[in-house]
Amino acid sequence: MADTPEKSETKDTLRFFLKLALFVFILRSFIVTSFVIPSESMLPRLLIGDYLFVTKWNYGYSRWSLPFGLPLLPGRILGRDPARGDVVVFRSPGPDDHDVIKRVIGLPGDTIQVRNGQVILNGRPVPKQRIADFVLPLTPNFNADKCGAEHLDTVAGQGVCRYARFRETLPGGKSYDVLDQGDFPDRDDTIVYTVPAGNVFLMGDNRDDSADSRFAPPMGIGYIPMERLEGRAAVTFFSTDGTAEWIKPWTWVSAARWSRIGEGF
């Protein structure tokens, strides 16, 4: 007996949603996914409330490429090492593992030390040039408490956060801006780290406010195995200052930081 029209429609709907779920799974696992910036550790390049597209094919694939870290892939497939200066999303170690974003500073075999706030890579200081202060308006995403009282300022009657900014240039020519909030011996003067085989050394651009490879877990992240790399930050596709309210759709437009959309890495 042939299926009734109602049963056929139900089956077609289920097939559609199964195909859609499979498409989304493949897209997010192997091609591109999104990531929202939750903290200030990558200031000045990334602000809280930035939304990024992250490409997934750059460093190969592992279980951490899959949603929820499903253990379906053994080891690391089609693995490729990142370049120094890449901004990567990875899965942090530990029982509270979660997705994190930092910048690659050291590759396997590299030695890294921070002296007086300057990175020493393989025995040579990484050039660090003072440039104009980084000035960020205070918003719900980044308020006075996050800024710190000593960095609060006012510009044209608006409260802002002001940090000393520097231009850092890695061997090979990759340049990016970093922030310096002051003298913090535990962050600005470190031991010499030697990156083990199969691992990377990662740092946040907001050097005095980043729990990164300078610190062992649980205070930081330590060295990160290559198989925990999920992808490379590609482009900012949206950014909000936190003033939007879900029940007021018109605020979604006013809260958007339009000038940040389309910024690449």
Residues with catalytic roles: 41, 102
Q: How far apart are CA 62 and CA 29, in angstroms?
A: 9
CA separation, residue 233 to residues 90, 159, 225, 259, 262 (Å)? 11, 30, 18, 18, 12
Quick one: tokens of 169?
């240039």
> Around Cβ 140, how many Cβ atoms within 10 Å?
13
In 3-state terms the chain splits into helix, strand, coil percentages (rounded to 5) of 20, 35, 45
Q: Is 223 helix (H, G, I), strand (E, B) or coil?
A: coil
Which has the closest alpha carbon to 200: 231, 226, 221?
A: 226
Q: How far apart are CA 37 and CA 26, in angstroms?
A: 23
- Name residue, tokens 């062992």: 216
Angle at 61 between CA 57 and CA 67, to 5 degrees: 95
> Around Cβ 3, how many Cβ atoms within 10 Å?
10
Q: Is 167 helix (H, G, I), strand (E, B) or coil?
A: strand
Burial class from Cβ neighbours inside 10 Å (0-12, 13-18, 19+) for residue 256 reads middle
